[in-house]
Amino acid sequence: MNALLSVSDKTGIVELAKRLNALGIRLLSTGGTAKLLAEQGLPVTEVAEVTGFPEMLDGRVKTLHPKVHGGLLARRDLPEHMAALAAHGIDTIDILVVNLYPFEATVAKPGCTLADAIENIDIGGPAMVRSAAKNWQDVAVLTDASQYAGVIAELQQGQKISDATRFALSVAAFNRISQYDGAISDYLSSIQLNAEVLNGGALESEKAPERLAFPGQSNGRFIKLQDLRYGENPHQAAAYYRDLHPAPGSLVTGQQVQGKELSYNNIADADAAWECVKSFDVPACVIVKHANPCGVAVGANPLEAYSKAFQTDPTSAFGGIIAFNRVVDGLAAQQVAKQFVEVLMAPDFTIEALEVFKSKANVRLLKIELPASLKSGATPWDRGQNATDIKRIGSGLLIQTADNHELSLGDLKVVTQLQPSPEQLQDLLFAWKVAKFVKSNAIVFCKGGMTMGVGAGQMSRLDSARIASIKAGHANLSLQGTVVASDAFFPFRDGLDVVVDAGATCVIQPGGSLRDPEVIDAANERGVAMVFSGVRHFRH
């Protein structure tokens, strides 16, 4: 057996080479690695002796040769491959040990220049790793010192590395190459060359980079979809990115079929609307304004769902973002077209619906395919929800798993003497689902599968409750007999009293306050039903 060792990080390499040599495995190596092994008294053959060519171009070329890659890529089970090796005097390479030039560490150093970064882009190493990983059935490729002990243990036991280990090493190798290439792409994409740079000056960036790197999502890499005209305000620059591997049914997978270019605020609000509407399994409509749902409803069809959602807050719906989780037909389109709408999203639009909006060229129509779960009834985990949530803060990031919790009837704990009716239980689940998408502090009144009043984003839960009641009054909606959802617990009974005074007869809240007994007693005193969800839904 032959092993080729060529490493930048030499941690553990001498011990590995000693173990390989003790097992009768011939050692091949390059440059500094070969020198180190020779100094330790190990018999090592330099790759230059094998290829017949010296290292050249300051080490840029040393392993890019058929005698290296032929030995890695030849399939031992194909006679023609082995005959080709014999004809050209090429030995097989059975173990490859490579770690790459320290590109990531180099660019992380203060004062790193473009020239420094370029010189630390490994070429021969990744090429060998790819060759060995492709031919995993015959070659074991080690790309990290943590892998050395396990491979030596297998060789000592039976002079062979198992198929399972070689395959796992191959997967790890391709992952490392992907990570390495991504780091190079992210770095180079984050800068723009201009005449000053080419002459040795400073790097400047005038546009958003084509790729961004953040931890936590799809190996942390994002690809730019477009530069935007501006951000939240005209004086702010902005760009629109998608995850490297976007989840099915997410906003970035949508196709714009009509209308002006989306703005930063359009995209932010559209995402809020789409994430909310696709959480419903029945026909639903969500209207969003400034990142908050101002109307949500379910119905027998898109027209009914929209008509109910619009009733919640017709004033705020003006210039809003509307999302459906069903195909928009002509009837629904005619009703929506009566108001000013910025963006309309749905899984699809009928020919009749598209015809309705032809005369409204500025309306942005987005077609987004629903995740498979909403078509087949699979579990909520398949809804295409984001795995993580990332917020940028000054010189840092906040990263958390996404709020993908789904509530069922079995999760509800009735804590009052009065039990909710079956109809109220369904409205409680509906209200709770909507509250998850409303900015905290959130109070949501619902009845009959529609929102009746929404209070969002206030510093006081009492104020959110009062605002929800006021907005219902402005829309001429009665809150008598409604259910209400609070995204977090009531710290005092006063919040409960406000919603009951407004007309609520059933309440859902997380519970968990030290004053829960006081609030439960208040609910019993007021003659309303209350359930605890056990889950909080803060949304900041």
Using the structure block, give the residue that is written with the tokens 């070689």. 166
pTM of the model: 0.68
Which CATH number goes with the domain that contains 367?
A: 3.40.140.20
In a domain, 206, yes or no: no
Band of residue 191 on the pLDDT scale cut at 50, 70, 90? low
Distance CA(311)–CA(288), nearest Å, equals 13
Using the structure block, give the residue that is written with the tokens 């994409």. 189
The residue with greater pLDDT, 384 or 301, is 301
Maximum mean pLDDT: which of 116-125, 131-140, 385-394 = 131-140
Same domain (yes/no): 232, 268: no
Amino acid at 89: G
Would you state the pLDDT for residue 114?
A: 82
In a domain, 56, yes or no: yes
Same domain (yes/no): 51, 85: yes
Distance CA(34)–CA(40), nearest Å, equals 10
Same domain (yes/no): 170, 260: no
Which percentage of the chain shows pLDDT scores above 70? 90
Distance CA(505)–CA(143), nearest Å, equals 64
**Residue among 10, 18, 81, 134 flagged as catalytic:** 134
Using the structure block, give the residue that is written with the tokens 């090592």. 44
Would you state the pLDDT for residue 213?
A: 62
Which CATH number goes with the domain that contains 84?
A: 3.40.50.1380
In a domain, 400, yes or no: no
pLDDT at 261 over 60: yes
Would you state the pLDDT for residue 214?
A: 57
Per-residue pLDDT tens over the stretch 409-429: 999 999 999 999 999 999 999
- How large is the average pLDDT for residues 496-509? 96
Nearest to 248 by CA among 268, 219, 222, 278: 278
Nearest to 519 by CA among 499, 538, 535, 540: 499
**Quick check: helix, strand or coil at residue 85?**
helix
pLDDT at 197 over 80: no
Maximum mean pLDDT: which of 17-31, 111-125, 179-193 = 17-31
**Residue among 18, 224, 260, 290 flagged as catalytic:** 290
In a domain, 537, yes or no: no
Same domain (yes/no): 358, 463: no
Per-residue pLDDT tens over the stretch 51-101: 777 776 766 677 778 888 888 988 888 888 889 888 888 888 899 998 888
Would you state the pLDDT for residue 218?
A: 42
**Structure tokens given for 263:** 């703005």
Same domain (yes/no): 429, 511: yes
46 with 136: CB under 8 angstroms? no
Distance CA(260)–CA(267), nearest Å, equals 12
Would you state the pLDDT for residue 216?
A: 41
Distance CA(535)–CA(403), nearest Å, equals 10
**Structure tokens given for 424:** 């109220």
Beta strands 95-99; 140-142: pairing state? parallel
Which percentage of the chain shows pLDDT scores above 90? 48
Same domain (yes/no): 81, 140: yes
321 with 346: CB under 8 angstroms? no
Our answer to whether residue 290 is catalytic in this structure is yes
Would you state the pLDDT for residue 54?
A: 72
147 with 173: CB under 8 angstroms? no
How does the average pLDDT of the chain come out, rounded?
Answer: 86
Report phi then psi at 353, rounded to 5: -65, -45
Would you state the pLDDT for residue 23?
A: 87
Would you state the pLDDT for residue 264?
A: 93
pLDDT at 222 over 80: no
DSSP string, 435-461: HTTSPSS-EEEEETTEEEEEE-S-SSH
**Structure tokens given for 409:** 């009837």
**Structure tokens given for 297:** 């409803």
What residues make up the domain containing 505? 409-532
Band of residue 108 on the pLDDT scale cut at 50, 70, 90? confident
In a domain, 500, yes or no: yes
373 with 389: CB under 8 angstroms? no
Band of residue 202 on the pLDDT scale cut at 50, 70, 90? very low
Amino acid at 186: D
In a domain, 403, yes or no: no
In a domain, 401, yes or no: no
Same domain (yes/no): 455, 361: no
Number of domains in the chain: 4
Same domain (yes/no): 441, 372: no
Would you state the pLDDT for residue 200?
A: 44
Would you state the pLDDT for residue 381?
A: 37
Same domain (yes/no): 143, 277: no
Same domain (yes/no): 9, 121: yes
Buried b (16+ CB within 10 A) or exposed e, 510-525: bbeeeebeebbebbee
Alpha-helix residue ranges (DSSP H) falling in 159-299: 163-189, 195-198, 264-277
Would you state the pLDDT for residue 532?
A: 96
Band of residue 190 on the pLDDT scale cut at 50, 70, 90? low
Distance CA(362)–CA(261), nearest Å, equals 9
Same domain (yes/no): 237, 258: no
- How large is the average pLDDT for residues 21-25? 88
Same domain (yes/no): 218, 277: no
Beta strands 529-532; 504-509: pairing state? parallel
- Relative orientation angle of helices 79-87 and 66-73, to the nearest 10 degrees: 160
Would you state the pLDDT for residue 383?
A: 41
Beta strands 221-228; 211-213: pairing state? antiparallel
Would you state the pLDDT for residue 442?
A: 93
In a domain, 285, yes or no: yes
Would you state the pLDDT for residue 386?
A: 54
Using the structure block, give the residue that is written with the tokens 């049914």. 249
Per-residue pLDDT tens over the stretch 438-485: 999 999 999 999 999 999 989 999 999 999 999 999 999 999 999 999
- Relative orientation angle of helices 13-22 and 31-39, to the nearest 10 degrees: 70
Our answer to whether residue 358 is catalytic in this structure is no
